[in-house]
């Protein structure tokens, strides 16, 4: 909506297009190393309408079709002319929405660029604070992980930075009150563009059948 569209592109069906996306991102991401061997990835492309039926790409992320390490993003990029419009956070939100529909948790592949790190930190804080609002006194790391699709390894340091985590006898415990949570939410930047998951027409690909 709002002149934006999201597309899933299978690299096996559109190999050259996906290779071109990787080569384009290399112009802006120093650590980008994958250009041609794209067959194991799917690409999620964000496009903006420019009138009529024409659209242009503003950003994308890729993810492995089957990641042994549990990564839900391999590479993510918002093209420079469209940065600081909330599109990066929208792509991050989409990556976690897909992860939750797959019934698992995920994390982005490292290293992240400086802008990527800032984008993820902003999203994580926002998503976790809203999950704390929903869960209330029942909040713990496991429930937060299930609610957000985030790994506990990402949740714990973010909540610790917000002052919402205590470590006692080897166990991380979520600890906050409503005043602290409202103060944290007030200090965070709201998303400029929000993902409406009710409009997300996507189901997880079927799992490969194991031969016995």
**SS3 of residue 162 by DSSP:** helix
User: Catalytic: which of 109, 182, 194, 203?
Assistant: 109
Number of CB atoms found within 10 A of residue 125's CB = 19
- At 105 the three-state DSSP class reads coil
Give the side-chain half-sphere CA count within 13 A for 142. Answer: 2
Helix (H, G, I), strand (E, B) or coil at 28: coil
The alpha-helical segments, DSSP class H, found in 79-151 are 87-101, 114-135, 141-148
Identify whether 109 is a catalytic site residue. yes
Instruction: Give the span between the Cα atoms of 40 and 196, in whole angstroms.
Output: 28
CA 53 to the chain's CA centroid: 28
Whether 197 contacts 95, CB under 8 Å: no
Catalytic residue IDs: 109
């Amino acid at each position: 909506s709002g002149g934006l569209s999201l597309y899933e592109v299978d690299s096996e069906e559109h190999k050259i297009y996906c290779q071109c996306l990787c080569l384009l991102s290399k112009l802006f991401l120093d650590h980008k190393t994958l250009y041609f061997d794209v067959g194991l990835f799917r690409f999620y492309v964000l496009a903006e309408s420019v009138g009529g039926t024409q659209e242009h790409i503003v950003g994308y992320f890729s993810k492995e079709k089957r990641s042994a390490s549990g990564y839900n993003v391999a590479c993510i990029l918002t093209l420079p002319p469209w940065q600081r419009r909330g599109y990066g956070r929208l792509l991050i939100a989409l990556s976690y929405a897909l992860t939750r529909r797959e019934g698992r948790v995920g994390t982005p592949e490292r290293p992240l660029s400086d802008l990527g790190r800032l984008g993820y930190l902003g999203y994580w804080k926002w998503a976790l604070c809203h999950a704390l609002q929903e869960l209330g006194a029942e909040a713990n790391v496991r429930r937060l992980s299930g609610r957000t699709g985030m790994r506990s390894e990402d949740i714990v340091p973010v909540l610790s930075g917000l002052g919402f985590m205590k470590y006692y006898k080897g166990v991380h415990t979520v600890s906050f009150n409503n005043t602290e949570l409202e103060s944290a939410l007030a200090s965070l930047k709201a998303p400029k563009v929000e993902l409406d998951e009710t409009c997300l027409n996507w189901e997880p690909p079927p799992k490969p059948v194991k031969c016995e």
